[in-house]
Amino acid sequence: MAEYQNTTLLVTLPKPYLYILRKMAAEQTFNNPTKKVSAAGLGRKIICEYVDNLDPEIKAKFLSTITQTGGE
């Protein structure tokens, strides 16, 4: 997806998913200490990749709804 200004989104997850994201982030940081990885950053990456890979027709439908309501 194109570069956009980040905004805040509150997402609640079951604890096991949070623990998995934390462990993944810790492993990535351990493997490359110069790059700090967080569970939130991984969550953002997963969500963005999921949305980027949506069927183009579905994505277009959501984007048209956003522009009609004045959202960004």
71 pLDDT above the threshold of 60: no
Separation CA 56–CA 42 (nearest Å): 24
Cα–chain center distance at 25? 14
Q: Which pLDDT band holds residue 1 (cuts at 50, 70, 90)? A: low
Q: Taking Cα atoms as reference points, which of 11, 4, 7, 65 lies closest to residue 39?
A: 11
Separation CA 17–CA 61 (nearest Å): 29
Helices 15-31 and 39-52 cross at an angle (nearest 10°) of 100
pTM of the model: 0.72
CB 72 within 8 A of CB 66: yes
Q: Tens digit of pLDDT for each residue in 11-68?
A: 999 999 999 999 999 999 999 999 999 999 999 999 999 988 988 888 888 777 766 6
